[in-house]
Amino acid sequence: MTQLRIGAGIAARIEETYEPNFNAAKFFPDWDPAVLQQHGGWLLPDHYDPASGRLKLSVHSWLLSVGGKRILIDACVGNHKPRAGRPMWDQLQTPWLERLAAAGARPEQVDMVMCTHLHVDHVGWNTRLENGRWVPTFPNARYVFSTQDYEHYLAIDRDAEKGPANMGSFRDSVLPVVEAGLAQMVSGAATLDEHLAVDPAPGHTPGTIAIKFESNGERALFCGDILHHALQVYHPQWNSFACAEAAEARNSRRKVLEHCAAGALLMPAHFGRPFACRIESKGGGFVPRFV
Ligand SMILES: [Zn+2]
């Protein structure tokens, strides 16, 4: 298990899946096969699968433990969820909860759940199936959602033509948390406690938030899908097919890279092994330094 110390905090990676999944050229409309020669030294085998032409994107959560509190950042796809629109995520059955327990957190011990945004692969474990109903997996947690994302997807979900939003995940993994009174909506820049703060970082979704952590002078930034793949450190203008607002997504990505180049550890939701990196400014651009 990947565990990183950040000041007095420990971030443990809780894996759901890690295998070649999205076709690179479809995932990145700006994909240029020349990157395979240019970056082959680190891309293979942990970040790209040459046999299939697919990116190797991890799907994981981070469990952040600090001062006796346990904070879960992003909630993957979840088990038993019907996702007919994306077969690789349909009716998953992974030992994610067991991995979370092995990292030191039973569901009732989680104090806070934070979703960087409300896409299907970031909200799944918010709920689990119990007697045929979706119930909050973490009964003692407050769940931090962005108001902008919530309102955006609520409107889509209620629209008879556009709904259900995000492959049904809004209904089975977000609404039950809100109905249980466990959601804390944040709007704009917000400080959550002595260690955690969020900044609006719109683009990938209208309400994406960057989650900033600080302890004993050390800093980290959990970026969700502001960056999906380490190649975007070299190519911050590359959006994924799933980015809603192109110009804003590029702007938010560049801001995150600048923030991390000034000293914060980048904690992505989907980068391949070793799953986190430092960012160095170089020649007007950025370079990942894997930790
Ligand atoms: Zn994602």
The pLDDT tens digits for 47-67 are 999 999 999 999 999 999 999
* 188-194 mean pLDDT: 96
The per-residue pLDDT for 14 is 98
**Mean pLDDT, to the nearest integer, of 173-195?**
97
Ligand 1: centre distance to CA 76 (Å)? 8
| Per-residue model confidence (pLDDT) at position 117 | 98
Q: What is the predicted pLDDT for the residue at 239? A: 98
At residue 143 the predicted structure's pLDDT band, cuts being 50, 70 and 90, is very high
Question: Which pLDDT score is estimated for 234?
Answer: 98
Residue in the structure block whose two tokens are 């550890």: 265
Reported as a single tens digit per residue, the pLDDT across 227-268 is 999 999 999 999 999 999 999 999 999 999 999 999 999 999
User: CA–CA separation, 257 vs 264, rounded Å?
Assistant: 9
Spell out the long-range contacts of 281-285 with Cβ–Cβ below 8 A and sequence spacing 24 or more.
Answer: 285/234, 285/236
Residue 151 amino acid letter: E
Query: What spacing in Å lies between the alpha carbon of 153 and ligand 1's midpoint?
Result: 16
Q: How far is the CA of 18 from the centre of ligand 1 (A)?
A: 13
State in Å: Cα 288 to ligand 1 middle.
20
Can you tell me the mean pLDDT for 169-192?
98
Distance 270 CA to ligand 1 centre (A): 7
Q: In angstroms, what is the span from residue 100 Cα to ligand 1's centroid?
A: 19
Q: Is the pLDDT of residue 25 over 90?
A: yes
Question: Is 40 a residue whose pLDDT tops 90?
Answer: no
Q: How far is the CA of 24 from the centre of ligand 1 (A)?
A: 15
In percent, how much of the chain has pLDDT > 70? Answer: 100
d(CA 178, CA 137): 13
Instruction: Write down the pTM of the prediction.
Output: 0.97
Per-residue pLDDT of 90-127, as tens digits, reads: 999 999 999 999 999 999 999 999 999 999 999 999 99
Question: From ligand 1's centre to the CA of 269, what distance in Å?
Answer: 7
- Looking at the predicted structure, is the pLDDT value of residue 171 above 90? yes
Neighbours of ion ligand 1 (CB under 5 A): 121, 225
User: Average pLDDT of 172-179?
Assistant: 98
Distance 225 CA to ligand 1 centre (A): 5
How far away, in angstroms, is 117 Cα from ligand 1 center? 8
H-state helical runs in 112-210: 120-123, 147-158, 169, 175-179
Confidence at residue 246, expressed as pLDDT on a 0 to 100 scale: 98
More confident residue, 41 or 83: 83
pLDDT(193) > 90: yes
